[in-house]
Structure 1
Amino acid sequence: MTEGIIIKQTEECTTSDNFFNGRVASALLAVLLLVVTIISAYQGAQKKINLLVDGKQWQVHTFSNNVDGLLQEEGVVLAEQDRVTPGAAAVLEDGMTVIVRRAVPVQLQVGYEKYRLMSSAETVGELLKEKGVVLGARDMVTPGLTAKLEKETRIQVDRITSQVIEEKVAIPYKVQRKSDETLLRGTMKVINSGKEGLQRKVWEKVYKNGIMMEKRLLASSVLHEPVDRVVQVGTMRTVSRGGNTLRFSRAYDMVATAYTHTGNNTSTGVSPYVGVVAVDPSVIPMGSRLYVEGYGYGRAMDKGSAIKGNRIDVFMDTQSQALGWGRRSVKVYLLE
């Protein structure tokens, strides 16, 4: 009777232990599942981001939802002209790269206007677009549009413009000289006065920052051909005057007046006498031997302020002779 009771108690204990162990195992499993769930949620919420600031790159892990939050976490403070890509409000995604480019000081000259500014553009072209600089088809940019923008980069924009103009210009005529033995040497006879031609020219003027740098001929055409001037040039070197043969180097058509004693010597220092002729030394050299038609032989020994060009003044012995001569056109021979 006693043994039977003992057996029953042992069976009841075993059943109770099994129940307790099962509950413990279930609890442990639940805790494990919760931990796994928390870890999974943690890992899902955390994002791995590549952060690039002014060429320096590092990898960060963040729970932030947007770029702005990430930058705050990392202590990256943006200045007004700094640039972040993607934008500060962009939603972060795992594996994303966030780029921060700091603005640098640059010098920009457009034409003759100079600017000093801050920019976070990567290239010269981006900077010009950022600042609203519109380029013409022929404008020149130094350095080129694809050049990387760095600290204190100097950018020169030269405005190149052009203007097409048309002009009409005279074509000078040529002079044909023909020898004529019937004309005195030093005299000429115009056979044809000549006429200028007319030419049409089209030019392109190229300006750099408003200053003309180049003028190029685009087209040219002759509207009227010039007509040559034809002149007969005398070659006769001898003439017969008063029964004498005069050999001369040149003949002049001149206007002659007369003067008489004034009490003063000539410009060459000699006392005036019949045969002294006042001349313009730029036309007839002083001391030259002359023959003046209607007066006779003479020598260039005087000059006067009123004697200029093709004018001479012949000396007469008396005032009445000088007045009688008056003013007349004469042929003057420069004797050899």
Structure 2
Amino acid sequence: MDGWIAAWRQKNDYRRRRNWLWLLTAVLILFTGTGWGVMNYAWKQVSLQIDDREVTVRTFAGNVGELLKEQRIELQPGDEVLPAPDAPIARGMVIAVKRAVPIKVIADGQERTILTVSDTAAAVLEKAGVTVRPEDRVTPDLAATVKAGDTIKVVRITYNEETVKREIDYKVERRLDGSLEKGLTRVVQKGQKGLIEETYRVVYEDGQETGRELIGTQVIKEPVPEIMAVGALDTASRGGYEFRFERVMWAVATAYTHTGSRTATGVYPRVGTVAVDPNVIPLGSRLYVEGYGFGVAQDVGSAIKGNRIDVFVDTEAAAARWGVRRVKVYILR
């Protein structure tokens, strides 16, 4: 009897221990599941992008700023974070950190370097406080993305209207005059310049003129043409002789006498020999010189240039009496 009771008690104790073991296991499972659920609820998975790199992290952080501290990510001046550091963390969130880079900005006569994230030229200029007008020229294009070390240049384009007055040259009208010797001219009516007002559209780049376009004209004063009488008479009569000539010209005439040398044409000078500038009167031309008579262009002289001639006379006294005169020279046919 005592053996049976001992066996029953032993069996009953085993059952109680087994029930307690199952109860303890159930409690552990319950707490473990609850803890995992709570932890899983608080532990969020997010994507962290830093410039061109992206990693996936799990965090208990409450906001973006705490996550960055947790990941030991320090923000430098000009860096940008999206969403903002005070934004709460949510599952599946993408957090982007853009590092600032140096970009040079040239505008309004100033050159400076700013720290900003890589962005379009338009966005960088806005951050730099540079206002761009439609007529301004920006390099690179406003829509272009700028990177570290790039330069953005803004050229200010301005326009202005400028009015200037300009003289108008007069025309010369030539009219044949049968009473005037061929080769001579006479001013019948003196010409007068006109006046015109021109309006230009002037283009400036950073204050420097780079171009202008004529947009309007107004004649204030019409020019007056000069009327020139042109000689048509080609015959003359001197000392009972009548002759025809190609042309007549005014010249300054001096005189010279014997030097013992031959002329430029190889003959010895004699009365009727005339020194000329061959560029004006060809050598060999037959001439009639007022106050001297008929002659031939046979010589040259170092001082005889342009409308100058030197007539030959027999004596030094005659040369002195001649002196310096302004005479008509007829170039004969």
1:102 correspondence with 2:99 = yes
* Other-structure match for 1:205: 202
In structure 1, C-alpha distance between the alignment counterparts of 2:239 and 2:311, rounded to whole Å: 19
Q: Following TM superposition, by how much is the alpha carbon of 1:243 offset from its aligned partner in structure 2, in angstroms? A: 3.1
**Cα displacement (A) at 1:331:** 1.4
* Identity within the alignment, %: 42
Runs of 4+, deviation exceeding 6 Å: 28-31, 34-37, 111-117
The Cα of 1:103 is off from its aligned counterpart by 3.6
Bigger mean CA deviation after superposition, 180-189 or 255-264: 255-264
Q: Does 1:66 align with 2:63?
A: yes
- Count matched residues: 315
Q: TM-score, normalised by structure 2?
A: 0.78
Q: Does 1:241 align with 2:235?
A: no
Q: Which one-letter code corresponds to 1:70 in the other structure? A: L
Partner of 2:168: 171
Partner-residue secondary structure (3-state), 1:273: coil
Question: Cα distance, 1:105 vs. partner?
Answer: 5.7
Deviation for aligned residue 1:255: 2.6
* Residues 1:220 and 2:223 are matched in the alignment: no
Q: Which one of the candidate residues 126, 129, 134 is aligned to 2:126?
A: 129
Post-superposition offset of 1:313: 1.9
Shift of residue 145 of structure 1? 1.0
SS at match of 1:189: strand
Residue 253 of structure 2 corresponds to residue 256 of structure 1: yes
> SS state of the match for residue 317, structure 2?
helix
Distance 1:77 1:156 in 2: 31
What's the C-alpha RMSD, in Å, of the aligned pairs? 3.6
**Inter-partner Cα distance in structure 1 for 2:276 and 2:112:** 71
2:280 maps to 1:311: no
The more displaced of 246-255 and 257-266 is 257-266
Structure 2: which 5+ residue stretches go unaligned? 1-15
| Cα distance between partner residues in 1 of 2:262 and 2:129 | 86
Structure-1 separation of matches of 2:212 and 2:310: 54
State the AA in 2 paired with 1:277: V
- Larger deviation, residues 163-172 vs 106-115: 106-115
- Find the counterpart in structure 1 of residue 321 from structure 2: 324
Partner in structure 2 of residue 9 of structure 1: none
Q: Which residue of 1 aligns with 2:226?
A: 229
Task: Please give the TM-score of this superposition, normalised by the length of structure 1.
Answer: 0.78
Following superposition, the deviation at residue 58 of structure 1 comes to 4.9
Query: Residue 228 of structure 1: CA displacement?
Result: 0.7
Letter matched to residue 251 of structure 1: V
Which runs of 5 or more structure 1 residues have no equivalent in the other structure?
Answer: 1-16
- Alpha-carbon deviation of 1:114? 7.0
Post-superposition shift, 1:222? 0.7
Does residue 180 (structure 1) correspond to residue 202 (structure 2)? The answer is: no
Is residue 118–residue 148 contact of structure 2 (8 Å, CA) maintained in 1?
Answer: no
Partner letter of residue 334 of structure 1?
I
Once the two structures are TM-superposed, the CA of residue 284 in structure 1 deviates from its matched residue by 1.9
| 1:188 positional shift | 0.9
Name the structure 2 match of 1:82.
79
* Deviation of 1:273 (Å): 1.6
